[in-house]
Structure 1
Amino acid sequence: MKEISSRENPLYKELKQLATSSQARRKAQRSLLDGVHLCEAYLQLVGDPLMCVLSQSARGNHEAADILAECEARRVSCIVLPDALYNALSQVEQGVGIFFLVATPQTTAPSILSQPAVLLDRLQDPGNLGSILRSAAAAGIRQVFCSPGTVFAWSPKVLRAGMGAHFLLEIVENADLAALLKTAALPVLATSSHARQTIYEIDLAKPVAWLFGHEGQGVAEDLLSKASNQVAIPHLGRVESLNVAASAAVCFFEQVRQTLQHR
């Protein structure tokens, strides 16, 4: 284990740049997993991180100490920082004081869309994207395709909202959704408040892909026209539409319900 106490330390400067700059994280293809839950999930589902970083006070926390011990047993590089230096890196308020530095997975889109998936058109809110990833993983979906203009899936806020779902999914950034729709070998359903057919009237027991759009503008018209079906989520209250993450969860778990019903 290495202790760093100076802000001028080259490794600390590198970590500070990664912690504070999305551009730096994208260029280095590195992500930060902040908090006990994400670190534990990574160790369990993926493997060894590139580095484990702790605050001095975190060494007294049994959960963080267990993670540190596991990393040391795996011969992972471990760094301890004074609380003041650590807090300048972390975006989590009142956190335990531990994060992993990991390699950001680089996944490419398949030539043919052939398995259940989620296609996301220009989602802007990190919380929405993280929630959708979490719901998709819970519903057994494995692939997620994010169009250009969608918030970076491996940003700290999306990672925290996803609660480890990233490690169960194949996430493709800057995906050409129009090309995927063109080659889709299964139905692609787009949600639209103007659709006549509801999700409860369509057969979801067979594999489908889902297309969700921008929080305010919805799915772009050119993509919407390429979807196999447009479906609506009926509601009784006097609201125009549901939040996109809530819509996705309703769709995914209606699909789960129908799938289980047909087994």
Structure 2
Amino acid sequence: MKAISSRDNPLVKRLHALASSGRERRILGETLLDGAHLVQAALERSCRLKGLVVSESGVRKAEIADLLGEVGQGLPCHVLPDTLFAHVSPVDTPSGVLAIIDLPAEKPLGTIVDNLVVLDGVQDPGNLGTILRTAAAAGVRHVLLAEGCAGAWSPRVLRAGMGAHFVLEVHERVDLAAWLPGFGGQVLATALSGDACSLYDLDLRAPVAWVFGGEGQGVSPAVLACATRHVLIPMPGAIESLNVGAAVAVCLFEQARQLGSR
């Protein structure tokens, strides 16, 4: 491993840019994986790493030492002092290891006949990563993100997703109002409107496009108009709404329950 100790080092500047700027990630065509678990998940899914960076204290952690042994001599590896590693870390509590990967090439969005999750204005990286992880756990393969959502491949979203990105097909900046009318199954949008029906009264055994809105404003009117039905999650307690990540989990696993009982 090569040691780096200066903030002026080109690699340090590159890492800081990838950690802090979506614009720089798009220009460089790269992003960062933070944490040994996420890096290991990428390796298991044959995601090519371009470089590995560890902190001086991280080298002494067993899981990071095992990871360094697994990648071998063919991958550029650098070690940074803890203070410098914290400077390039995309999170407030550095994990001790970062990997550089290429951003995936954008795939054309064609016809989808399976269940999918559609997100409109979900801006919190932690929420988005959690939703992606939940979708992967529930067996959903496709996730569509409208313009205005957090960047799916930002380091914070990747960390919250914990490997879900490598088993999903994620499409960003989708014109939902143009795409959704062509979907062949139900388009179900969570909403508190008067015509909303209970989630538990629905037959969810056919393909569904699940539409969820942002943390504050919910689903936009243009996208809501594409829904074949508005859905309400019954809540007997004294709270009027759920975090969007929790709402996604309730809906997807109710569908999984119904499909499992078939």
Which TM class, normalised by the smaller chain length?
over 0.9
Instruction: Say if 2:196 is the partner of 1:196.
Output: yes
Question: What is the deviation of 1:199?
Answer: 1.3
Q: Distance in 2 between matches of 1:33 and 1:71?
A: 15
Deviating more after overlay: 245-254 vs 182-191: 182-191
- Give ranges in structure 2 of 5+ residues lacking alignment: none
Instruction: Say if 2:258 is the partner of 1:258.
Output: yes
Question: What is the deviation of 1:109?
Answer: 4.4
Q: What amino acid is the match of 1:163?
A: M
* Deviation by residue 1:187-230 (Cα, 9 ceiling, x = unmatched): 21111122432111111122211111122221111211111221
Q: How does 1:57-76 map to 2 (within 5 A)?
A: 57-72=57-72, 75-76=74-75
Question: What is the deviation of 1:7?
Answer: 2.2
Q: For 2:212, what is the secondary structure of its paired residue?
A: strand
Instruction: Say if 2:78 is the partner of 1:79.
Output: yes
The equivalent of 2:19 in structure 1 is 19
Displaced runs of 4 or more, over 3 A: 91-96
Question: What is the deviation of 1:32?
Answer: 0.8
Q: For 1:119, what is the secondary structure of its paired residue?
A: strand
Aligned CA-pair RMSD: 1.6
**Do the aligned partners of 2:109 and 2:171 also contact (CA within 8 Å) in 1?**
no
Calculate the TM-score normalised by the size of structure 2: 0.94
Q: Distance in 1 between matches of 2:93 and 2:189?
A: 39
Question: What is the deviation of 1:121?
Answer: 0.5
Q: What amino acid is the match of 1:36?
A: A
Q: Distance in 1 between matches of 2:154 and 2:177?
A: 25
The equivalent of 2:4 in structure 1 is 4
Question: What is the deviation of 1:110?
Answer: 2.0
Deviating more after overlay: 212-221 vs 109-118: 109-118
**Do the aligned partners of 1:199 and 1:233 also contact (CA within 8 Å) in 2?**
yes
Residues 151 and 96 (structure 1), Cα distance of their counterparts in 2 relative to 1, 3 Å cut: closer
The equivalent of 1:114 in structure 2 is 113
Calculate the TM-score normalised by the size of structure 1: 0.93
Question: What is the deviation of 1:95?
Answer: 3.7
Q: How does 1:168-247 map to 2 (within 5 A)?
A: 168-194=167-193, 195-247=195-247
- The sequence identity of aligned pairs, in percent, is 47
Q: Distance in 1 between matches of 2:89 and 2:104?
A: 22
Q: For 1:173, what is the secondary structure of its paired residue?
A: strand
Question: What is the deviation of 1:34?
Answer: 0.8
The equivalent of 2:162 in structure 1 is 163
Question: What is the deviation of 1:11?
Answer: 2.1
Q: Count matched residues.
A: 261
Residues 187 and 140 (structure 1), Cα distance of their counterparts in 2 relative to 1, 3 Å cut: same
The equivalent of 1:138 in structure 2 is 137
Q: Distance in 2 between matches of 1:210 and 1:96?
A: 34
* Deviation by residue 1:161-197 (Cα, 9 ceiling, x = unmatched): 2121111111111011112212112221111122432
Question: What is the deviation of 1:125?
Answer: 1.3
